Amino acid sequence: MIRPSSPPDWQDSFAGPTDPEITTARNAYETGFRRLPAWVGWALSARNKVVNLLGLKTKIEGREEELMLALPVLQESPEAYEVGIDDKHLTFTILTERTAQGTRLTTSIWFNHWTGRAYLALVYIPHKIIVRLAIKALS
C-alpha cells in the first residue's frame, strides 16, 4: 500500500497515558487492539459480514489475524508505527506514536469513492468508541 501524498480528507486523533512497560509504538498498537472488550470483536464480525457483501476487504490475504492486527506496516520505529490499507471506497492509515507522555492514535482517511464517505458516516461513532477503548487499555 502506498499512502496518498495529498492531505487526508478526514482525520482524528486520541491520546492517553500508557503503562511504562509498553515501550514501543508497535507494542502499544497491538496491546490496545488486543485488549478491547469482547463486544468489539462481535461488532467487527458483524461489520465484516455486511461489508463483505459489498466487496470490501475483511481480511488480509495470507494472514489469519483479525484485520486490525494484520494490516500492512507502512512505517515502524520505536516511536512510530503506522499501518494501513487501500480499498475501493477509501484508503486509511492508523499512526501510533509512543512518547514519554503516553500514546497517540491518529486515523487518516482518503476517500476513493463516494461510498467511502457513506462508510465513514456508518462507522464514525463506533470508530471513536473503539479507538478510545484501545487508548484506555494501555494505562
The CATH number covering residue 111 comes to 3.30.530
Residue (of 32, 38, 34) closest to 18 by Cα position: 32
- Give the confidence band of 17 by pLDDT, cuts at 50, 70, 90: very high
How large a percentage of the chain has pLDDT more than 70? 91
The grid coordinates of residue 16 equal 492517553
What is the per-residue pLDDT for 11? 98
Residue 117, domain member (yes or no): yes
Q: How many domains would you assign to the chain? A: 1
Domain that holds residue 31: 10-55+64-136
Query: In the beta sheet, which residues pair with residue 75?
Result: 82
Does 109 have pLDDT greater than 70?
A: yes
Mean pLDDT across the stretch 26-42?
Answer: 93
Cβ neighbour number for residue 137 with a 10 Å cutoff: 19
The Cα 68–Cα 65 span in angstroms is 8
**Is the Cβ–Cβ distance between 82 and 94 less than 8 Å?**
yes
- Give the confidence band of 42 by pLDDT, cuts at 50, 70, 90: confident
Residue 4, domain member (yes or no): no
The Cα 98–Cα 26 span in angstroms is 9
Residue 2, domain member (yes or no): no
Residue 5, domain member (yes or no): no
Residue (of 57, 55, 104) closest to 85 by Cα position: 57
Residue 3, domain member (yes or no): no
Rounded mean pLDDT of the chain?
89
Q: Can you give the pTM of this predicted structure?
A: 0.89
**Is the Cβ–Cβ distance between 135 and 103 less than 8 Å?**
yes
Residue 104, domain member (yes or no): yes
- Is the model more confident about 110 or about 69? 110
Residue 1, domain member (yes or no): no
